[in-house]
Amino acid sequence: MRSNRSSSMLHRQQVWVYVVGFLFVADFIFYGYLPSHRRLQSLAEARLQKERLIETAESQARALPGLEQTLETVEKAVLHYEDRIPAETDGALGTFWNQVSVIMSSRSLTDPVMEPKDVIVADNLKCIPVRIKCKGALESIFGFCNDLRELDRLVRIERLTLTNDSDFSGVISLEAEAVIFYRSEKGPGESGLAGVIPPGGLRNDT
């Protein structure tokens, strides 16, 4: 009897030891290890995010001098931008053609043609697409394009085609689609271009 009771009590003690041990382990896992693990993960993610922010800041800092230089270049380019878009006058296109004629003559270019297209209006800014043709030596053609860029008014070249002469004499034919701009100072519906350009465009046959 006593042996059985002793054995039963010993068994119960062992069970309680296991239960208490299990409770200690569970307490450690649920209230110690897991919260600590989550905190470590949060710290690791915060550290990684901070490192990424530092890398982004360093990258932006390295790019800043280049951006400042680009901004300075753009500011210089647009400083007199409006000055290169003249106000509309009755001879606006005629003045441009005279400038082009002088350039072509100075570059010994022949067969000059300038054909304007319909005026495009955007707020108080107007632009005129112009088809320009001429012939001459390659060096003169490139000089002509450079002179157009250096004019006191804005001229944008949309398309440029160079064609060699069929007998390879060194004569190059240029055909360009250019756009000139001007600011409107007239009322709605008034283009100020009437009588400037004849229907077939401007030609200089001399």
pLDDT digits (tens, 9 = 90+) for 82-97: 666 777 665 667 788 8
pLDDT value for 2? 56
User: C-alpha dihedral over 106, 127, 182, 74, to 10 degrees?
Assistant: -90
pLDDT value for 105? 93
pLDDT digits (tens, 9 = 90+) for 134-183: 999 999 999 999 998 888 888 888 899 999 987 778 899 999 999 888 87
% of the chain beyond a pLDDT of 70: 67
- State the pTM of this model: 0.50
Average pLDDT estimate for 76-86: 65
Strand partners, 179: 129, 156
Cα separation, 173 vs 204, in Å, equals: 16
Q: Is 159 helix (H, G, I), strand (E, B) or coil?
A: strand
Residue 191: name the closest of 99, 127, 130, 114 by CA. 127
Cα separation, 28 vs 43, in Å, equals: 21
